[in-house]
Amino acid sequence: MEPTADDAVVAHLRARAPGLPAVRFDGWAVTARARRAVRRRRRLRTTAAAAVSGSLAYLVLAVLGPIPVPGGATVTLPGSATVREMVARLVPGVPPEPGQWPGDVDRLDRTVRPVVQQLRVYSWLQAGACRILEYPRGAFNDGPAQCGPGIVPFDAQARADFDRVTDAVERSGLPVDRVRTSGGVIYVQLRDASWQYNYEYAYLADTPQPPPARFPEERWTHIRGDWWFHRAHDD
**Over 70: is that where the pLDDT of 58 sits?**
no
Residues 51 and 115 in one domain: no
Domain that holds residue 98: 93-233
pLDDT of residue 206: 84
Residue 81 placed within a domain: no
Residues 6+ apart with CB under 8 A from 154: 131, 133, 140, 141, 142, 162
Q: How far is CA 200 from CA 34, 102, 130, 160, 206, in A?
A: 62, 13, 20, 25, 18
d(CA 232, CA 128) in angstroms, rounded, equals 23
**Over 90: is that where the pLDDT of 134 sits?**
yes
Residues 104 and 220 in one domain: yes
pTM above 0.85, yes or no: no
Residue 79 placed within a domain: no
pLDDT of residue 179: 97
The total domain count for the chain is: 2
Residue 88 placed within a domain: no
Residues 111 and 56 in one domain: no
Residue 72 placed within a domain: no
d(CA 134, CA 14) in angstroms, rounded, equals 85
Three-class secondary structure of residue 208 per DSSP: coil
**Over 60: is that where the pLDDT of 192 sits?**
yes
- The more confident residue out of 108 and 151 is 108
Residue 202 placed within a domain: yes
d(CA 55, CA 154) in angstroms, rounded, equals 52
Best-predicted range by mean pLDDT among 34-43, 54-63, 69-78? 34-43
Residues 40 and 142 in one domain: no
What's the first-to-final CA gap in the chain, in angstroms? Answer: 85
Residues 151 and 46 in one domain: no
